[in-house]
Structures are given as C-alpha cells and as structure tokens.
A and B are shown apart, each in its own frame.
Chain A
Amino acid sequence: MAERIRYKNIDEIPDVALSTGTTRVLKTGSWRNVKPVIENKAAPCLKACPLGTKIPHYFYWIIEKDLEKAADVLLERNPFPAITGRVCPAFCQIGCNRKRFDERISIRELERYVGDYIIKRGYKIKELPSDTGKRIAVIGSGPAGMAVAYFLRRYGHSVTIFERESKPGGVLRYGIPSYRLPKDILDKEFEMLLNMGIKIETNKELGKDVYLDELRQKFDAVFIGIGAWVEKRMRMEGEENLLSGVHFLKDVNEGKETSKFKGKKVAVIGAGNVAMDVVRTLKRIGAEPCILYRRTEKEMPALEEEREKAKADGIPFHFLTLPIKAENRNGKILLTNQKMKLGEPDKSGRRRPIPIEGSEFQEEYDFVIKAIGEEADRKILPEEYLGEDGWPYADKKTGATKVEGVFAGGDFIQGPSTVVEAEAWAQRAARSIDRFLKGEDINVKEIPPRTVSFMLIRTEYFDKAPAIHPQELSVEERIKSFEEEVKTFSEEMALKEAKRCFSCGYCNSCGNCYVYCPDMSILWKDGKPVVDYDFCKGCGVCASECPRGIIQMVSEI
C-alpha cells in the first residue's frame, strides 16, 4: 500500500482526490463470480467440412496477405486445396452463418485461391517429421489413396502407391472432365506427393500385378482405395447395346478419338453427377445430348450446381421417362421408353416412379449412354473382407477392415461420393494406421468442438455486402472447348471476400474486447487478447462485445 500522506495545511491538499500510487495493489479480480474465457471454437463451415478445414483461420492469413501461413493452415487438414477448391460441393458454404445476414462466403473460391498460390510457389510441406521406418502400401491413387498417402507421410511414414492405370489420379483424372478440373492441376498435386517422398508405381492392378497377401507381407500396413468403377445394371432388354458413362468419360479424359459423336444424337440415362459430366462433355465434343430420367428434377441426385450448368448449356432433360428396351437397328439404337408418374416416397425419401400402363413410345438415337450409378467391384477381395451384406467392409470411423493391418475407404467402401468425403475418410484412416503402427488403440473418442451459432454473431459490427462470385466463361464460350470454365479469384477479390467472413469462433485479433473492457483487464500479448484475472471483475462486456462468439462467461461458484 502507498504511504499515508500528512498535509501541513489545507492549501497543500490538491483540488481533486488523486491516488498517490498505483492502484494495482487492489486485485479487483476477487470481486468476480463469473469469468470470461477466451477460447476459439468451431465455425459452422469448419464443422460442415468433412475434412474439418480451419476456414476462418486461413482466411485470417489471406486478409493479412500472408499466403504462406494461409497455405500452412489449409494444408494441415486439406491435402489438395487446388482440387477441392474446384470440384468440392462445398458443404462448408451451406453451413455458413453469413447466409442468415446477407449471403454465404464463397469459401470454395478462397480455398482455390490459396490452392493455386500453393501450386504457383511449388508444393512443399514444412517440417515433415523424421522417418518412422514404417512402410505402407496404398492401392489406388484417387482422392482416397492420394489423401491417405499425404496424411501418412505427414505422420512420418513411408508410402508406396500402386495404381492400375498408366497415370495416377483415379476419378480425378479419368472421371472429372477437364473443364472442371484441368489435368495440369492434378499433375502438380502429384508432384507435391512425390516431393514429399511418396512413391507411385503405375500400371499395377490389384489381383493382376500386385496381390494383397504379398503387400501385407512386404508392408507394415495396407490401404485399399480403388474406387467404384463398375457400372450398375439396369436389367433392361438390350442393355449390351448401351455405352458406359464412366468409360466414356475415361476415354475422353485419356484423349481418345471422339469424332464419332460429332453431330450425333445421344441419349444419356440417369441424372447423377456422372450423367451431368457425360452430357456436358458430349456437348463440348459436338454431339447433341439429352437426359432421360425416370423421376423429376426435384429427385435428381446431381448437385444443384451441376444440374443448373447442364441446363444452362442447353441440354434437354426428359423427365419421368424410363428406357425399357434398346434395339440395335443398323448401328442406331431404337429405345423403347415408358412414361412414369410419381408415387409414394421410397426409402431414400424420394417419390418412387411408377410406370404408366400403355405409355410406351420409341425414339431412335445414334448412341445411348447409361450413367445410372457405379459400385465397387465386390469380387476383388476375398470373403474375409466382406461385410454381412456381401460388400467390401471397413469401419466408418477408423477405416479398418476385418483383417488386421488392412484398411480401406473412399468410394470403394462408401459408394460413389464426393472427393472431399473420400479425403475425409482417408484422413481418419491415416490416423488409425498411424495409431495401429504405434501399437495404440485405433478407436479414438472424439469430442465434437463447440460451434458458434448465428445467435452468437454480433452482426451490428458488420456491413452488408454481397458475396464475390468468380468470373466464368459465358455459356457460348464454354460449350466450345474444354477450357476451365470458372476462374480463380484475383487478389483483390480474395481479400474482399475473405474480409466478409465473420470469422465465427476464431479470434482474428479485432481488439473489441481490449477496447471495451472498462477495467483494462484484457491484455494484449503476441497479437492476441488475454484476460488479466487479477483485475477482471467479470462484468462480461468483453463477452457481449466479441463479434464472433469467442469469449464465454463461466461461473466460478
């Protein structure tokens, strides 16, 4: 305590009651019964992303114009941002809190912006851990295989990928058309895997060139991610007269001759994402494609974005139309179609198509391509790998098969799905493999992070601003070639869009708590707020003025 002052006379007393020493001896923190806790939480986008990409966190570095740091944060959880930044359905954007304020953030475009930066600067991962001496064989180099290899390498293990085709990439190379994902982007991502020390052996097909038992002996663990490439059967008369959608896409992607389709009338059966890729590819090689689908637009399994682009490309959709017979008439296909109507919902929740008696009609096409869905090759693995339903089985949380040391995932297990979901499976599997190799229990109990809801956002701190959308080729331009139709954000666009982000749950050092604390009990250390509990009285102003739900008041009683 300060010493007591004795005044000689009244004039010596100052006009105002001023302290003579510091008041810091008075630890007012003892008055408190609730305390503010500063803690980052999960943004809804982060929670919606199967990979758990730390979205607001790397946006922070975009705004700071430190793309190196943005890349580090992004690559921690998201192995191929230049790919997912192009083809991801962006579950994150669906969850975005900002959509309740004005419009969701163009998260995918920002991911792509950083992804392209990473490609431009040369793909590298800082500080790979030292080699553990463990070796893992990965079968298949599609999204699941690539991602599992990536994550395993980051754990410090050695990885060898075995790929059936002459080039790696799986569905990314042979399925997705290059107007959505240019091949050079894919090649660059593989360069990165090679730079990390991952080996790739191509033209090695499981069951022909490599065998599971052999790999199990040579390697400490095996991951199978060979995708779903078997076209489902329609069980219609003359099905052998139809072409396969996935094979068609593979041929085009391999650069095979496509002139036979030029100017030809082509029917595509199905309305999923593969069907959309097939019709849009056909359009670009000069064919006249159309869609035949037994339900209506509402039941279409394709992503809305893909459906809308196909419609904009000028492709006719014939709904409630089911081909029931295909006859080869002098090289042309005569399809017999039946008109359908919608009945009660089936187990998928979509209304079941019911044939209308006597509604059959015929139509002649040059080619008919079926794209009604693919499935895994169920004969490729021996019985001990199959589940009760007869399909190859792996645990959803760990990726472990029933056989010790063998893991599997991606479309091969979960059926045709998105790139990001395959990568997310791989992320979980890689962690399990790492734990398995260390002799730890692979079952990890995960506590889901707390999410910041829209209610916790102080919207008064934000100005309304519409989302920035990427530049795109016009429909007239894009249907003429395989040029990538969506462009990457410019720096200006990226900055503007990243700044729209509420940064839900991630402290971006806005300083509101520091400014508003009436007791100067928010300290600023290394660019971040820290509560000075010696003096904080627990008034809660910091918590109520935090625009992004990072500060919570916690009872101390």
Chain B
Amino acid sequence: MGDLKTKKGIKKVLYGNHAVSYGVKVSRAQVISAYPITPQTQVVELLSEMVGKGELDATFVNVESEHSAMAVCIGASITGVRTFTATSAQGLLLMHELLHWAAGDRLPIVMAVINRAVAAPWSIWSDQNDSLSQRDTGWMKIYCESNQEVLDSVILAYKVSEKVFLPSMLVLDAFILSHTAEPVEVPAQEEVDEFLPPLELPHALTPEKPYAIGAVVMPDGPYMELRYKIQKAMEKAIPEIEKACNEFYELFGRKWEFVEEFMMDDADVVLITSGAVSSTVKYTVNEIRKREGKKIGVLRMRILRPFHFEKIRKILSGRKKVIVLDRNISFGLGGIFFNEIRSSLYSVSEKPILLGYIWGLGGRDITPKDVEGVIKDAEKREKDEDIIFWGLKKENINL
C-alpha cells in the first residue's frame, strides 16, 4: 500500500457486495437497474436503500429479468447518464445478447458480476465460468482479490469506460468476497468527484438530436470498420488503464495495476492466479519461501480484457516453469486463463514449461494445502501439461 496522503475517506467494515454498492454510490451512478440473484442481491439491495433514502440521486428501475436490466442500462446510457447493474451466473447468461449490444453501441456501462458456478447442476458457489463465458462480448473485465479492490475498481471502471466508451465488468468471487466482511476505505465524495467527472457521451441521444442507433449496416457498410474501432478502443484502453491507475494512486494512495506481481523478482517458478484465491496462493508461496527458500512467485491477473500481451510476455520471459491455476474450464480446450497465457508466450524464444491446473470448480474449497500440493506436483513435471484436474476425488468418492 502506497503513501496514504489525503485520507479524507472513512473506514468501514464491508461485505464485498456492499463495497460494490459504496463504489457505485461515490461514482454517482444515475440509473441503476437490476434483477435479484444470489449471491448478487445484496449489491442492489443496498443501492436501492441508498436511492430510497435519498443518499444517492439515482433512478432505480425494478425489472422482470436480467435481460431487461441490461436493456434499461443501455437505454439510459444512450442518453448520456452513468448506469450500473449487477448479476451472477444464470442472470449474466440471460443478459448475453445485450452485452454485445452495449459494447456495439459503445456505452460505458459498469456491471458487477459476482462469480458463481453455472448450472446444471445448480450451484451458487464461486467459479469463474459465468464471467468467462462472456469473454468475447467486447466488455473490459477486472478480476478482484479484496473488498477494497472491489470498491476502488468500480471507480476505476467508470473512469476508463468513459474514456474509451466500452462497458466494464467487475468480477468478484461468490461468498469468498461477496459475503465476507473486510475493512474498506470508502473514499470521500469530493475526492471521487475530482477523479471522476460527470459522463460526457459524444453520441448521447437527446430530444434535440434524435437518431436511431445500431440499425442495420450492409456488408459493404461500416460494420467491419465499427468492429475495428472496438478493437482499437480496447487497445487504447491499455494506456488509459495505466494512466487511471496512476492517477488513482496519486489521489488515494492505492496502486492497482494490470497484474500484481508477488515475490516475482527472482522467481523461477510462477503461479498465475486470479480472484480471491490469489490471497491463499500468495500466503502459501510466502510460507514455502521462508521455509525452503524456493524461488517461487505469484502473478495475479487483474485485467483480462484488454489482454496486455506485452506485459505478460515481459514478465514471463525467461522463467523456468509457469503454473496457471484456473477456477474455470473451456470444455475441450482447458483452463481459459491458461490458454490466454499460452497464446501470449508463442513468440517468446525461451519458453517456460507450461502447466495448466483446473481447481475449485463449483466452489470447491482451495486451501494452502492444495497450493503446496500443486507446487509439489509441478516440481515433478518436466514437460508441458495442458489440463491437470486438481482436487478431483477420483478414488473412494465420499462427498
């Protein structure tokens, strides 16, 4: 944690879900629309209270489905107001069509996704497949580790979205973050106002300037060019994110970057993680280093889209072994983070040994013992292995 110079904010003990709500509040969202779903509901529950009490000057729109929630956000956002929604798992999947629409219309909507395993069978516990199934929708994606990071990332998400006009998805783990309380600093409103000016949407729809948006474009029309522009916006987002993170650090003293490097300076073996489990991994790695002096480090992936190839390449180049820990799976391919990391290493001349572990699906607990197990297992492996299921109860199943 950096130099805490201003400190006008106040500390609160907040659930991850409520950290989202406070982040939205200080970001002065103007239209909020959501449909309840476990484990998301607390987010909008608190927001509706804030709106109801007049603490947040926003319109809260109750809807009958997540599809409509996103539709409301799109409709509101087109008029140039700051919008927010939150969901999980099945609710996110129901929104799918409109996620493409939000990105295609270049709307700076921010959404919190509380990662929850996707049915069938039913599960309400943490895993990343819901958010990762929306990987290619044109949304920026931030994976958080702590409740403070959650709150700060809401503000950062608006900041960057409103620079490049792409929507942002803020991802946090079901229950492990969403329903766990941690001390969180809620920044002072005037400081956030300084950091995050009101939204100015260049293509805002007004009664004075009516137009139709997103209507049909012929094959020789600018459809492909508009897609090109989305890609360019994603590329532009990389320096914008860096800039915003630096500015945020200046103001609030907390440094959030594309990736977090932990004990990486001399590490031969790198464990790549994302989300809340990163804390468990970092703790265990620290213990092993103290105990055995092994040169192990942790790289936490914070932002998945835009994907910062250059940075990943630079960090991983020359390492001996890279272990990617995925709480998700693309059936028939493997861990999703694993495959993204692997593709980024294609042009690296000295490739590390790459190992892909799948663990913690459907909220299965991941403990320091698991982390040690993975490290020991990886030590034995001298060639690439794409898919290693960790923690599978293959024998004597007794669940």
Interface residues of A (CB under 8 A from B): 7, 10, 13-20, 22-23
B185 to chain A, nearest CB (A): 35
Task: Give the interface size class of chain B.
Answer: 20 to 34
Contact A17 B214 (CB under 8 A): yes
Q: Is the CB of A19 within 8 A of B211?
A: yes
Let me know if A17 and B213 touch, CB within 8 A. yes
Please give, as numbers and ranges, the residues of chain A lying within 8 Å of B215 by CB-CB distance.
17, 19, 23
How many angstroms between the C-alpha atoms of A17 and B211 in the bound complex?
10
B228 interface hit (Cβ, 8 Å)? yes
Contact partners of A22 in chain B: CB under 8 A: 210
Interface residues as binary, B219-230 with A (CB distance below 8 Å gives 1, 0 otherwise): 000110110110
A14 & B210 in contact (Cβ 8 Å cutoff)? no
Assess whether B105 is in contact with A16, with CB atoms less than 8 Å apart: yes
The docked-state distance in angstroms from the alpha carbon of A23 to that of B210 is 10
Which 4 A-B pairs rank lowest in CB-CB distance, beginning with the nearest? Answer: A19-B212, A23-B212, A15-B106, A19-B211
**B203 to A16, Cβ gap below 8 A?**
yes
Chain B residue nearest to A18 in the complex (CB): B211
Q: A22-B210, A23-B212, A23-B215 are in contact. Are A17 and B229 (CB under 8 A)?
A: no
Q: A5 — nearest CB in chain B belongs to which residue?
A: B222
Decide: A18 and B212 in contact? CB cutoff 8 A. yes
B217 at interface by CB-CB < 8 Å = yes
Is residue B165 contacting chain A, with contact meaning CB distance below 8 A?
Answer: yes
Complex alpha-carbon distance, A14 and B233, angstroms: 13
User: What are 15 A-to-B residue pairs whose CB atoms are below 8 Å?
Assistant: A10-B229, A13-B222, A15-B106, A15-B165, A15-B202, A15-B226, A15-B229, A16-B105, A17-B104, A17-B213, A17-B215, A17-B217, A18-B212, A18-B213, A23-B212
Is A17 a contact partner of B210 (Cβ separation < 8 A)?
A: no
Q: How far is the CA of A274 from the CA of B21 in the complex (A)?
A: 72
Evaluate contact between B225 and A16: CB separation under 8 angstroms. Answer: no
B189-214 near A? 1/0 per residue, CB < 8 Å? 00000000000001100000011111
- The interface residues of chain A lying within 8 Å CB-to-CB of B202 are 15
**Contact status A16-B210, CB under 8 Å:** no
Further 12 A-B residue pairs, CB within 8 A, beyond A17-B222, A17-B226: A13-B226, A15-B165, A15-B203, A15-B233, A16-B104, A16-B213, A17-B217, A17-B223, A18-B203, A18-B213, A22-B210, A23-B212
The complex places the Cα of A20 from the Cα of B222 at a distance, in Å, of 14
- How many Å lie between the Cα of A479 and that of B233 in the bound state? 87
**A16: chain B residues within 8 A (beta carbon):** 104-106, 203, 213-214, 226
Q: From A20, which residue of chain B is reached at the shortest CB distance?
A: B211
Chain A proximity of B164: nearest CB distance (Å): 10
Q: Across the two chains, which residue of chain B brings its CB closest to A14?
A: B203
Question: B212 to A10, Cβ gap below 8 A?
Answer: no
Distance, CA A330 to CA B223, complexed state (A): 112
Tell me the minimal C-beta distance from B205 to chain A in angstroms.
9
Residues from chain B with a CB closer than 8 A to the CB of A15 are 106, 165, 202-203, 226, 229, 233
Shortest CB–CB separation between residue B376 and chain A, in angstroms?
Answer: 51
On whether the beta carbons of B228 and A10 are closer than 8 Å, the reply is yes
Expressed in whole angstroms, the minimum distance between the Cβ of A314 and any Cβ of chain B is 54
Kindly identify which residue among B105, B212, B222 contacts A7, using a CB–CB cutoff of 8 Å: B222
Minimum Cβ distance to chain A for residue B98 (Å)? 15
Chain A nearest Cβ from B64, distance in angstroms: 12
Among B106, B202, B211, B213, residue most surrounded by chain A Cβ atoms (within 10 Å): B211
List, in ascending order, chain B residues with CB within 8 A of A13's CB. Answer: 222, 225-226, 229
Taking the closest CB of chain A, its distance from the CB of B361, in whole angstroms, is 38
Shortest CB distance A22–B (Å): 7
Please report the C-alpha to C-alpha distance between residue A10 and residue B225 in the assembled complex, in whole angstroms: 7
Query: B222 — which chain A residues lie within 8 A by C-beta?
Result: 7, 13, 17
The CA-CA distance from A23 to B216 in the complex, in Å, is 12
Chain B, residue nearest A7 (CB): B222
Q: Which of A7, A14, A17, A23 has the most CB of B within 10 A?
A: A17
Docked CA distance A19–B214 (Å): 8
The residue on B at minimum CB distance from A19 is B212
B371 to chain A, nearest CB (A): 44
Within 8 Å CB of B106, what residues of A?
15-16
Query: A14 vs B212: C-alpha distance in the bound complex, in angstroms?
Result: 14
- Docked complex Cα distance between A7 and B217 (Å): 15
Q: B209: shortest Cβ distance to chain A, in Å?
A: 10
Measured CB to CB, the closest approach of chain B to A334, in angstroms, equals 77
Q: Which of B165, B202, B229, B233 has its CB near the most chain A CB atoms (within 10 A)?
A: B229
Most chain B CB within 10 A, of A19, A20, A22, is at: A19
Looking at A10, A18, A19, the one whose CB has the most chain B CB atoms below 10 A away is: A18
Contacts of A14 in B (CB 8 A): 203
Instruction: List residues of chain B with CB within 8 A of the CB of A7.
Output: 222
B220 to chain A, nearest CB (A): 11
- CA gap between A208 and B226 in the complex, in Å: 99
Cβ-closest chain B residue relative to A11 = B229
The complex places the Cα of A13 from the Cα of B217 at a distance, in Å, of 13
* CB-CB nearest in chain A for B214: A17
Please report the C-alpha to C-alpha distance between residue A23 and residue B211 in the assembled complex, in whole angstroms.
Answer: 8
Closest CB of chain A to B302's CB: distance in Å?
A: 26
CA distance A19 to B217 in the complex (A): 10
- Complex: A22 Cα to B215 Cα, angstroms: 12
Q: Give the distance in Å from the alpha carbon of A89 to the alpha carbon of B226 in the complex.
A: 72
Chain A residue at minimum C-beta to C-beta distance from B105: A16
CB distance from A40 to the nearest CB of B (A): 30
Closest to B226 in A: A17
A21 — nearest CB in chain B belongs to which residue? B211
List residues of B (226-260) whose CB comes within 8 Å of A's CBs. 226, 228-229, 233
Q: How far is the CA of A13 from the CA of B165 in the complex (A)?
A: 15
Q: How far is the CB of B67 from chain A (nearest CB, A)?
A: 14
Q: CA separation between A16 and B107, bound complex, in Å? A: 9
Min distance, Cβ B91 to any Cβ of chain A, angstroms = 22
- The 0/1 profile, CB within 8 Å of A marked 1, for residues 129-173 of chain B is 000000000000000000000000000000000000100000000
Residue with the highest number of chain A CB atoms closer than 10 Å, among B165, B212, B215, B229: B212
CB distance from B200 to the nearest CB of A (A): 14
- Bound state CA distance, A17 and B225, in angstroms? 10
What's the Cα separation between A19 and B222 when bound, in Å? Answer: 12
A15 to B228, CA, bound (A): 10
Q: How far is the CB of B224 from chain A (nearest CB, A)?
A: 10
What residues of A have a CB within 8 angstroms of the CB of B210 in the complex?
A: 22
With both beta carbons as reference points, the residue of chain A lying nearest to B201 in the complex is identified as: A16
Residues of A within 8 A of B228 (CB): 10
Contacts of B211 in A (CB 8 A): 18-20
Select from chain A the residue with minimum beta-carbon distance to B233.
A15
- Bound Cα distance from A407 to B38, whole angstroms: 76
B230 (CB) vs chain A CBs: closest residue = A15
The distance from the CB of B34 to the nearest CB of chain A, in whole angstroms, is 21
CA distance A10 to B231 in the complex (A): 13
> Once bound together, how far apart are the Cα atoms of A23 and B229, in whole Å?
25
With CB as the reference atom, state the residue of chain A lying closest to B164: A15
Contacts of B233 in A (CB 8 A): 15
Q: Within 8 Å CB of B225, what residues of A?
A: 10, 13
Q: In the complex, what's the smallest C-beta–C-beta distance from B242 to chain A, in angstroms?
A: 22
A10 to B165, CA, bound (A): 17
Cβ–Cβ < 8 Å partners of B223 in chain A: 17
A511-B334 Cα distance, complex, nearest whole Å:
54
Instruction: Write the nearest CB–CB distance from B214 to chain A, whole angstroms.
Output: 5
Task: Tell me the complex Cα distance, A13–B224, Å.
Answer: 11
**Max chain B Cβ within 10 angstroms of own Cβ: one of A10, A16, A22, A23:** A16
Contacts of B105 in A (CB 8 A): 16
> Shortest distance in angstroms between A378's beta carbon and chain B's nearest beta carbon?
68
CA distance A23 to B215 in the complex (A): 10
In the bound assembly, the distance between CA atoms of A15 and B165 in angstroms comes to 9
